[in-house]
Chain A
Amino acid sequence: MRIDLSGLRTGPAQVWGALRLVPLLRDEPVESLRLHGVAYEGAWRSQVKLTNTTSYYSYVPHGFVADWNPESGDGAQSAAYGTQIVDKSTTVRGMPMPVHRRMAQKLGKRRVRFLPLHLAMEGYLALHFDGPPVAWREWSDRFVQHGLSPRSEASYNGAAVPGLRDALRVFEIHEGQSGVLVYAADALAAAFVVPHPDDYRELHPTLVLDMYGELVYQYALMMPAVRDFHTRLEDDTIISLADLRAAARAQSRSWAEFHDTVMANALLSHDYTAERAYQMGDFDLVRFRPAFKPGDENHIGEAITDGAGRIAYLKTFRLSEAQIRRGYLLELLASNGWRLSAAAASIGTTAEDLRGRIRAAGFEMMLREKAK
């Protein structure tokens, strides 16, 4: 799958500190699909039941409701603070713990609730989650029996990314804006697209509730302020106001072209492996993952695409270098039938070196310590 942003125009960027926000404008909004936000209370530790035996725990402050033909309620549960002796009248002291059923849940005939970015993140975490189908002797018993469980990844909440809250606050939303690309020190941090400008206006502040990769946090924290790409007009060819206007238009066009082909290139030109999570009428809710190329820009994300593959909704997460390596190793092993030697040979290295890499990536529990 490719990310197809046709129907969206690139607008002039706005800069705040090390962050650059590039608006994406829609001339014709997608009327047949709308998104709304749902805020969840007590989100610090939310549980998402994926299957009977598998759960996903994270900070889930909000969800989106997709409505493709223009009441929500989640049961309240809590986790007790240790063992407590209570009589009949008092209740157990506990912290509230919202439980969501599935990442994408039907809410009515033509409505579905999904948890933004967690859908994509869960897809990444569940990558080869079950472990090897054949119990080769290089893998530990635990890995063979239980797979990668429990598998965890860390990310930064938007509120913790320095300057992001202010950047979103002072950002002047354009007329017809339906999306934004967030850059930290000119590295693409996140893409966010919605079907309709009104939805964007409503959901713009929720960007601060999302999660961001380590690189985004570090760049926003340490990098110096980025500069505006200032317009330059060639004055020797301008002899009338009409020329002036034409020159200004040409400048806007050249910025959009530069942005699409240079700045957002890595997001738009890569191929992604997509997986459908929900089908809603003509639209598909999919999550996608990249080819995991270490040293390259890798985004995971989720999208709602229409029949022709155009993006109606998009949200991406930039993986950190360590996360890319973990994804790469898992894909490499799986593609070689979980044989360590075959995998090592395919990248031209030794099995011992690959073992070292697996350990360094934080997957030591996969490997058997002593040979049987």
Chain B
Amino acid sequence: MVAAEDVLLFVNAATASTGQREFHGDALGQEMSLDFLHEYMLVNYRDLYATTLALGINDHNAVLAIRRLLATGRDATAEQKAAEGALIARRLRELPPPRVFRLFTALRRDGVNNRRTRAVIRDWMASLDSPAYHAVKYRTGFKAGLKHAHIDVGDGELRDFLFGPLERKPYTTPILETWRQAHYNSGALYKLPYTVAEGFAAKHGIKREIFLERIGDRMTPLERLRTGEDALDPLALIDGGAKYGGPPVPWLTRLAVRVLALPLDERAARRAEFTDALRAFAAAEAGKLAGTWGRVTAVLDDSFSSFGSPVKRRRPLAVALACHFLLEALAAQGQYTPLWMSGRDDPLLAYPSGATPLGLRLIDALETAPERIVVVSDGWDNSPPGLAGEVLRVWRTRLDPQQRVDIVHVNPVFDAEALDVRALSPSVPSVGIRDAEDLVPLVELAQFAQGRLGLPELLAYLDGRVRRFLGAD
């Protein structure tokens, strides 16, 4: 039983926290708490710790877990190593390349260079679609990985590109040849990946505006977002996904983040367009489950703390917004009621402000007589404090002891001091969430948090998830 609780605690933390500053806590506290939880899991439940790689923990924590597993290979049995190896290889393929290269650099810094680590790096590098592209775009990391794992790249031109002086001409691989030409020819640099072209543009003294205008189509959607030059048309995201590294991209949440970053006037003006796009994404995410959840009421947090922090701007609010559309798709037609904390009822114009009357909203939600209530909130219930927990306690003990209404709380914020996401009440499961897309598996997982199902069931469930995860390709 303890193991099940510990695993869920860890999964909550590793799903919600990215080691970045949150509204109520700083980055250092988050890092320290995560470090502790990772160490605790590794020492006590090594098997389960590796299994969490299949559970949709976020990229930041996946990298931390992989680092720890690879560094402590000597404590593992051969059987464990094989299981871990498969999970690590699979998870690495889902990570965006910059994170993987950062992981390799970290492994080198830690002095982790055992046979398994070298094999993992080698396999990942071998599985790349176009090594030359990655060699150009992530040159330092690519080189570091090769050197650290003692990988022989052969006598080809890739070796000359990475390790030789700039002598060979011409290259037969197109991207390497473009890279060579970009040294002399300012026209060629526009065919290179954006980050590499940026350096060459500086070298040739090209004006920033002209550069951005011409490089436009070489940027990935995220890079275009970062330069902030032309506001990304969210509809372009539907087919823009092809350029981005990892396959399971949470576009629905990303779109919600993007929409919330726009000024209210623009959101109001383009309301139909955004609503359609969000509905379309949500329908795609819901897939076969669309319309199967029956009568659903959502309690969504748009209090001031849903602002997040300057590094995770409006993240909790964006998760709430994305969950709103996802739940709308999951609920039966016309059987969905959203209740925002502020009492406003226009999700597209949501902005963080006001207190968190979670308890009163929960009473409102219970009055709609739903089959399922989903609460999306950071759990800082302050108006009045602690009412939500009391409402849930009284509801569960006095008004609904048979648990006819399924209540689940998803929390996008990890509370570093408590080492867990802030729960509302012991009688209702609270799970961490990073992307709204994970809502369905998290609600599955939540039934373990409630203590209704024990460790054997959890292990069976985890086995299923691992098999699905490994068999997915």
Contact = CB atoms under 8 A, between A and B. Distances in A.
Contacts of A252: 384
B394 interface: yes
Interface in B357-410: 359-360, 363, 366-367, 382-387, 389-391, 393-395, 397-399
A298 B353 CA distance: 35
B363 A248 contact: yes
B420 to A, nearest CB: 18
A23 B385 CA distance: 13
A149 B381 CA distance: 52
A230 interface: yes
A235 B393 contact: yes
Given A231-B359, A244-B394, A248-B360, A11 B399 contact: no
Contacts of A233: 390-391, 393-394
Given A244-B399, A255-B384, A172 B304 contact: yes
B274 interface: no
Interface residues of A, number: 28
B359 A170 contact: no
Interface string B324-366: 0000000000000000001000000000011110011001001
A232 B390 contact: yes
Contacts of A13: 385
B17 interface: no
A235 B363 contact: no
Contacts of B359: 231, 248
Nearest to B384: A12
B363 A231 contact: no
B305 interface: yes
B398 A251 contact: no
A252 B382 CA distance: 12
Given A172-B303, A241-B399, A12 B353 contact: no
Given A12-B355, A172-B355, A228-B386, A244 B391 contact: yes
B144 to A, nearest CB: 40
Contacts of A23: 355
A231 B360 CA distance: 12
Nearest to A175: B354
A154 interface: no
B383 A11 contact: yes
Contacts of A175: 342, 354-355
B24 interface: yes
A13 B128 CA distance: 56
A240 interface: yes
A172 to B, nearest CB: 4
Interface of B: 23-24, 303-305, 342, 353-356, 359-360, 363, 366-367, 382-387, 389-391, 393-395, 397-399
A238 B394 contact: yes
Given A231-B385, A241-B366, A244-B395, A172 B390 contact: no
Interface string A218-250: 000000000011111101001111001100100
B453 to A, nearest CB: 27
B399 A230 contact: no
Contact of B363 (A15, A239, A244): A244
A174 interface: yes
Contacts of A172: 303-305, 354-356, 382-383
22 contacts: A12-B355, A12-B384, A12-B385, A15-B385, A170-B24, A172-B383, A173-B304, A174-B354, A230-B385, A230-B390, A231-B384, A231-B390, A233-B390, A235-B394, A235-B398, A238-B394, A241-B363, A244-B394, A245-B363, A248-B359, A248-B384, A251-B387
Contact of B384 (A173, A239, A251): A251
B392 to A, nearest CB: 11
A14 interface: yes
Contact of B387 (A15, A238, A239, A248): A248
Contact of A170 (B305, B383, B394, B398): B305
B382 A14 contact: yes
Of all A-B residue pairs in the complex, the 8 with the closest CB atoms, nearest first, are A230-B386, A12-B384, A228-B385, A172-B304, A172-B355, A231-B387, A233-B390, A231-B386
A174 B355 contact: yes
A235 B392 CA distance: 11
B385 A173 contact: no
Contact of A173 (B23, B353, B386): B353
B405 to A, nearest CB: 11
A232 B386 CA distance: 8
Contacts of B367: 241
B270 to A, nearest CB: 27
A232 B391 CA distance: 9
B179 to A, nearest CB: 47
Contacts of B398: 235, 238-239
Contacts of B24: 170
A229 B24 CA distance: 19
A14 B305 CA distance: 13
B382 A238 contact: no
Contacts of A255: 384
A181 to B, nearest CB: 16
Given A172-B354, A230-B386, 12 more contacts: A11-B355, A11-B383, A12-B382, A12-B384, A170-B24, A228-B382, A230-B390, A233-B391, A235-B398, A238-B398, A244-B366, A244-B395
A230 to B, nearest CB: 4
Contacts of A232: 390
Contacts of A245: 360, 363
A61 B286 CA distance: 54
B8 to A, nearest CB: 25
Interface string A239-278: 1110011001001100100000000000000000000000
A23 B366 CA distance: 28
A15 B303 CA distance: 16
A288 B5 CA distance: 58
A14 B384 CA distance: 9
